[in-house]
Amino acid sequence: MSASFALALNAAREAAGSQHYPQGALYVVATPIGNLADIALRALHVLQIADVVACEDTRHTQALLRAYGIDKPSAHLLAVHQHNETEAAQTVIERLRAGQRVAYASDAGTPAVSDPGARLAAAVREAGMRVVPLPGASSVTAALSVAGVIADDGAFVFAGFLPSKAGERDAAVALLAQETRAVVLLEAPHRIEALAKSIAALGERSITVGRELTKQFEEVATMACDGLPAWLAADAQRTRGEFALVLHAAPDAPKADDGLRVLELLLKELPVKTAVKLAAEITGGSRNELYEAALRLKEGIAPSPSGRGQG
């Protein structure tokens, strides 16, 4: 532990120690997404006084606690991750019924946001016990805060990780083409190039890429969606690290040829009937007209205008 965090622990006790922290409650604790200094004073205090720290990875959380100078015996750490969350929630509930304070922390950021924690919180609430949020770092809000998304109502959609299979991912992107609000996506380094290839189909719509947010090699850049593959390819370092991306709000309402555009995207990965069905559901277009357009596309003939409208 550095001297700086020793001061932080003292500050946490001074700032948060006088507040009431009921026993028999689950405390959902946001932890840093990369920069250790992004820890809330209240989070530090609760992690100190918790009887049990439930966590996604006990080794990771133990190292995090020690970095702050918080010493928790291994017996006071409980693994609660995506593979055991439902069962482990019952263990947490038993601890709460015994009057213990239980803190839950995922590996990074805010629990239950593309991380375990939602099932645990739901189970505790259903058992009639209190769930207390301790807000803090989140790659979702961090990316939105610097993207400069301009929308009258400020609305956005959190889509998280898109499917890993190419056809399913392209279908998901086709849905995003119809979404007029800003959309926040997350992606891992080994899949970012595949995502970029799919996202390029959205053309000139703006996207902000946040790479390694809060860390030493943080990078934030905004570009057209069809420029994302080239941006990644321009520097080998850009495919490293975790990604949070913000697809900006669509500047215009959907156009009349959206059915054909979506159909062309889906036909690259899916059979004709499946592509037509999805394109019709996504855009509201006529299934018959889209089917005729699909056949013409497969034959290499440009579709007639009748295949472009929405029925």
How big is the chain, counted in residues?
Answer: 311
Q: Is 284 left (phi over 0), alpha (psi -120 to 50) or beta?
A: left
Is the pLDDT reported for residue 304 higher than 70? no
Is the pLDDT reported for residue 2 higher than 80? no
Please report the pLDDT score of residue 297 as a whole number. Answer: 84
Is the pLDDT reported for residue 93 higher than 90? yes
Please report the pLDDT score of residue 240 as a whole number. Answer: 94
Is the pLDDT reported for residue 308 higher than 70? no
* pLDDT tier, 291 (very low <50, low <70, confident <90, very high otherwise): confident
In CATH, the number for domain 3-137 is 3.40.1010.10
- Of 16-30, 190-204, 286-300, least confident by mean pLDDT is 286-300
Please report the pLDDT score of residue 306 as a whole number. Answer: 40
Q: Work out the end-to-end distance of the chain between its first and last CA atoms, rounded to an integer number of angstroms.
A: 64
The predicted model scores a pTM of 0.79
R_g of the chain, CA atoms, integer Å: 24
- In the chain, the percentage of residues whose pLDDT exceeds 70 is 93
DSSP string, the chain: --HHHHHHHHHHHHHHTTS---SSEEEEE-B-SS-TT---HHHHHHHHH-SEEEES-HHHHHHHHHHTT----GGGEEE--TTTHHHHHHHHHHHHHTT--EEEE-SSBSTTSSSS-HHHHHHHHHTT-EEEEE----HHHHHHHHHT---SS--EEEEESPPSSHHHHHHHHHHHHH--SEEEEEE-GGGHHHHHHHHGGGTT-EEEEEESTTSTT-EEEEEEGGGHHHHHHT-GGGGSS-EEEEEPPPSSPPPTTHHHHHHHHHHTTS-HHHHHHHHHHHH---HHHHHHHHHHHHTT-PPPGGGTS--
Domain 140-247 has CATH 1.10.8.60: no
Please report the pLDDT score of residue 310 as a whole number. Answer: 33
Is the pLDDT reported for residue 65 higher than 80? yes
Please report the pLDDT score of residue 302 as a whole number. Answer: 55
Please report the pLDDT score of residue 3 as a whole number. Answer: 58
- Of 116-125, 152-161, 302-311, least confident by mean pLDDT is 302-311
Q: What is the average per-residue pLDDT within 221-241?
A: 97
Please report the pLDDT score of residue 148 as a whole number. Answer: 94
- Where are the chain's structural domains? 3-137, 140-247, 258-307
Please report the pLDDT score of residue 262 as a whole number. Answer: 84
What does the angle CA 303 – CA 275 – CA 285 come to, to the nearest 5 degrees?
60
Task: Count Cβ atoms below 10 Å from residue 175 Cβ, excluding itself.
Answer: 16
Phi first, then psi, for residue 137 (nearest 5°) are: -65, 145
Is the pLDDT reported for residue 257 higher than 80? no
Residues 169-182 pLDDT 10s: 999 999 999 898 99
Q: What is the average per-residue pLDDT within 73-95?
A: 96
Please report the pLDDT score of residue 153 as a whole number. Answer: 73
Is the pLDDT reported for residue 54 higher than 90? yes
Q: Is 24 left (phi over 0), alpha (psi -120 to 50) or beta?
A: left
- In the chain, the percentage of residues whose pLDDT exceeds 90 is 75
Euclidean distance between CA atoms 195 and 228, whole angstroms = 9
b or e along 132-163 (b: 16 or more beta carbons within 10 Å of the residue's beta carbon)?
eebebbbbbbbbbeebebeeeeeebeebeebe
Q: Among 277, 245, 241, 247, which Cα is nearest to 259's?
A: 277
- Of 83-87, 93-97, 285-289, least confident by mean pLDDT is 285-289
Please report the pLDDT score of residue 252 as a whole number. Answer: 59
